[in-house]
Amino acid sequence: MKKLLLTVSCLMMATTAMFAQKYMTRTGRISFNATAAKSPEKIEAINNEVANIVDAKTGDIVFQVLIKSFKFERELMQEHFNENYMQSDKFPKSEFKGKIDNLSDVNFTKDGTYNAKVSGKLTIHGVTKDVNVPGTIAVKGNTVAVKAKFSVKLNDYNIDIPAMVADKVGKDATITLEGNLTQK
Amino acid sequence: MRKSLLLFTLLSGIYTSSLAQADSLMNMLNDNAPKTKEHVSATFKATRIINGSSVENLGHGVLDFRISHRFGQLNQGVENFFGLDNATTRLGLDYGITKWLMIGIGHSTLFKENDGFAKVRLLRQVKDGMPITLSYSGSVSVQTTPAPVLLPGQEWKYSNRLYYAHQLLIARKFSDRISLQLMPAIVHYNLVDSSKFSNNTLAIGVGGRVKVSRRMAITGEYYFRATNADMLYAGVPTYNALSVGLDIETGGHVFQLVFSNSQGMSDRTFIGQTTDSWGKGALHFGFNISRVFTVVKPKEFKDSDDKKW
């Protein structure tokens, strides 16, 4: 009986894996804005190399971002971002591992735009935090477009903003994420 | 018992599968990640180590306005306010044409000198690949001080005012904190004090930086002349140029505080025509300030309405 149970549960896991429908992209776009209220210049950057997988069956969702791929309008700012703020030699990647909590509300087989609640672990600058992110999932044929906008406190991720630039760099960064995923 | 076992197996099955899934998805991303060359960046904080060029280039479309001061010798005493009364200045404009080619022009009050240079990056250090960054820097300068009064029949040629310098810059960032650079150089002086001296000076420079905090670095630079070290300039002996500095980075600026026995800031002056010596305390305090402007925006920001200036 125990063996049977084991076999059944093994099979179950195997089938989940087998029928898993995965959507993937490596050219997602993430941008952030950490401009302080009265800053004369914008503190923002864009990264068009976001890797992202959504598993339609299990609701698992992962993102991965290379810090050095963020482009700034000012090159010097980009260098400071990598050298002083994100220490990207030490912490080259940021990643998110999570799950769509309301998977039953999202129908991957029917075209439409669905609101998704995603929770999971966000790692930035070597610090991992639990986050809840609201977003949308738009299904069209066998492509999926994900969008999310949320805000992080830089302090939570041990990103120090020296007093000297506190009038330019805010305490929070608003992160905007967009990806067009295709079925794998 | 059986029921609870069933429940347990199912639950643990679901639980492990969900965690393992996210991890396996992440592995999927990592395994198939396209291999990209990771260039080593920020070997130095600025395009100059102190007086001499570093392997750093300005990015494409970046304009750098540089203001450099060198005061008089510290050992001039209180009557010249320890050198502060005899300040010289170089104003410079550098521009990044492509990410591997930059040019610059400048004017120094010392010897009323105009200079221009081009710096080309030939090789770039890559993480787990190419071990060094290699650049070539070539400069030309024109001294525009009034022509000397000559005997009748003697002619003062314009070419007497011209100087050329060529340098190879070989640098490696050894760690986050330590970078070193070697600079084999040849300087051509169209006019030297006497025919005893060669018009060409061969030198090898060595420079480096040690970061002491995320925003500060101690720098050093020394040019050793392999030939022509006994050259007189304006009748006085010349010395090898040794400079130490502190780089301080603020928002859009890099400040470089400098102590050097060279008051000149152009390649030809500090490499071969440094007339002060550390041994005699004839040091010059000074600083470089750099302010960069983005003239051509990166393509991601083409539509941004942010003010350039």
CA-based nearest residue in chain A for residue B29: A51
Task: Note the pLDDT of residue B53.
Answer: 96
Residue A107 structural domain: 22-183
What value does the mean pLDDT take over residues B165-185?
96
Q: Check residue B239 and report its DSSP letter.
A: B
Does the distance separating the beta carbons of B9 and A75 come in below 8 Å? no
Percent of chain B clearing pLDDT 70 (strictly above): 91
Quote the CA–CA distance of A52 and A22 in Å, as a whole number. 10
Q: Assess if residue B272 is contained within a domain.
A: yes
Q: Token digits for A62?
A: 């992962």
Checking if the pLDDT of A167 tops 50, the result is: yes
Residues B16, B85 within the same domain = no
Quote the CA–CA distance of B221 and B219 in Å, as a whole number. 7
Q: Token digits for B49?
A: 């180590």
Residues B27, B73 within the same domain = no
Q: Assess if residue A5 is contained within a domain.
A: no
> How many beta carbons lie within 10 A of that of residue B15, not counting itself?
10
Task: Note the pLDDT of residue B309.
Answer: 42
Domain count, chain B: 2
Is residue A167 within 8 angstroms of chain B, CB to CB? no
Split at pLDDT 50, 70, 90, the class of B308 is very low
Checking if the pLDDT of B259 tops 90, the result is: yes
CA Rg value for chain B? 26
Residues B14, B73 within the same domain = no
Ramachandran bin of A66, using left for φ above 0, alpha for ψ from -120 to 50, beta for the remaining angles = beta
Residues B26, B129 within the same domain = no
Of B9, B215, B252, the CB nearest to A76: B252
Q: Which amino acid is at B289?
A: I
Quote the CA–CA distance of B286 and A74 in Å, as a whole number. 27
Task: Note the pLDDT of residue A4.
Answer: 67
Residues B102, B16 within the same domain = no
**Average pLDDT of every residue of chain B:** 88
Residue B3 structural domain: 1-31
Q: Assess if residue A178 is contained within a domain.
A: yes
Of B9, B26, B249, the CB nearest to A62: B26
Checking if the pLDDT of B4 tops 80, the result is: no
Residues B282, B225 within the same domain = yes
Q: Assess if residue B273 is contained within a domain.
A: yes
Does the distance separating the beta carbons of B26 and A95 come in below 8 Å? yes
Interface test with B, best of A4, A67, A74 (most B CBs within 10 A): A74
Task: Note the pLDDT of residue B234.
Answer: 87
pLDDT digits (tens, 9 = 90+) for A112-145: 999 999 999 999 999 999 999 999 999 998 899 9
Checking if the pLDDT of B302 tops 80, the result is: no
Residues B14, B135 within the same domain = no
Task: Note the pLDDT of residue B9.
Answer: 56
> How many beta carbons lie within 10 A of that of residue B88, not counting itself?
19
Which of B51, B57, B219 minimizes the C-alpha distance to B136? B57
Lowest average pLDDT, out of B24-28, B131-135, B219-223, B233-237, goes to B24-28
Query: Could you give the C-alpha distances from B268 to B67, B113, B155, B223, in angstroms and in order?
Result: 19, 11, 24, 11
What value does the mean pLDDT take over residues B281-303?
86
Checking if the pLDDT of A80 tops 90, the result is: no
Domain count, chain A: 1
Task: Note the pLDDT of residue B18.
Answer: 52
Query: Could you give the C-alpha distances from B84 to A161, B81, B286, in angstroms and in order?
Result: 35, 5, 9
Q: Assess if residue B275 is contained within a domain.
A: yes
Task: Note the pLDDT of residue B74.
Answer: 84
Residues B134, B8 within the same domain = no
What value does the mean pLDDT take over residues B8-21?
55
Collect all residues with Cβ–Cβ distance below 8 Å to A92 and sequence separation of at least 6: A66, A67, A68
Q: Token digits for B5?
A: 């076992």
What value does the mean pLDDT take over residues B235-258?
90
What CATH number corresponds to the domain at position B115?
Answer: 2.40.160.40
- E-state strands within chain B: 62-73, 88-98, 101-108, 113-123, 133-143, 162-173, 178-189, 200-211, 216-225, 232-233, 236-237, 241-249, 253-260, 284-294
- To the nearest whole Å, the CA of A23 is away from the closest chain B CA by 11
Residues B19, B160 within the same domain = no
Percent of chain B clearing pLDDT 90 (strictly above): 61
Residues B13, B162 within the same domain = no
Handedness of CA B32, B36, B42, B46 (dihedral sign): negative
**Residues on B contacting A at a C-beta cutoff of 8 Å:** 2, 5-6, 9-10, 13, 16-18, 21-23, 25-26, 28-30, 33-34, 38, 41-42, 58-59, 62, 176, 214-215, 249-252, 292, 294, 297-298, 300-301, 304, 306
Checking if the pLDDT of B42 tops 60, the result is: yes
Quote the CA–CA distance of A52 and B266 in Å, as a whole number. 51
What value does the mean pLDDT take over residues B257-286?
92
CB–CB of A119/A133 below 8 Å?
yes
Residue B25 backbone dihedrals phi, psi, to 5 degrees: -65, -40
Checking if the pLDDT of B14 tops 60, the result is: no
Residues B5, B115 within the same domain = no
Q: Assess if residue B100 is contained within a domain.
A: yes
What CATH number corresponds to the domain at position A140?
Answer: 2.40.128.110
Q: Assess if residue B56 is contained within a domain.
A: no
Whether the full predicted model's pTM is greater than 0.90, yes or no, is no
Q: Assess if residue B101 is contained within a domain.
A: yes
Does the distance separating the beta carbons of A46 and B300 come in below 8 Å? yes
Does the distance separating the beta carbons of A55 and B25 come in below 8 Å? yes
What value does the mean pLDDT take over residues B241-250?
93
Q: Assess if residue A12 is contained within a domain.
A: no
Checking if the pLDDT of B167 tops 50, the result is: yes
Residues B11, B93 within the same domain = no
Which positions 133-152 of A are in contact with B (Cβ < 8 Å)?
Answer: none
Higher local confidence (pLDDT), A162 or B122: B122
Q: Assess if residue A3 is contained within a domain.
A: no
Split at pLDDT 50, 70, 90, the class of B81 is confident
Task: Note the pLDDT of residue B19.
Answer: 55
